[in-house]
Structure 1
């Protein structure tokens, strides 16, 4: 069974992929970028903790929660815009 996508569904799919890969690249930067610069960040302190440690212990978790929130809001917006959301 083949499914043909309408232009509206194709646009929705492209916007969804763009949002997903954009947020995934930010996630990669936070995860691996902060680890790469941990030694340089540890020269500074925040609340008497080395900054590299603090970013991994608290900052990365907060940024992941923010990314999840952005994804939820963005997908809800796209669902409404392209009228593909679930009926309530």
Structure 2
């Protein structure tokens, strides 16, 4: 009920602990900014390039298949029918 003031050594230890925690926090923030953040930014940049390359490759493949199908539509129909037939046989 009544709050007694903590003894002086306890308050000093509390203050020292608080100061040490603030110092550690500052060190962690500095290390994050100097080491971790640049590595994460580099990884994100590389991932962005990989996605762009994959998208470009996919677009190229779609254009290539479209061109081939338009050049020989009957051959494309026969190939699709054969794949459908084989898939149906395998699924049974």
TM-score per shorter chain, which class? 0.3 to 0.5
- Structure number with the higher helix fraction is 2
| Bigger RCO of structures 1 and 2 (CA < 8 A, at least 6 apart) | 1
TM-score by length of 2: 0.37
- Structure number with the higher strand fraction is 1
TM-score by length of 1: 0.39
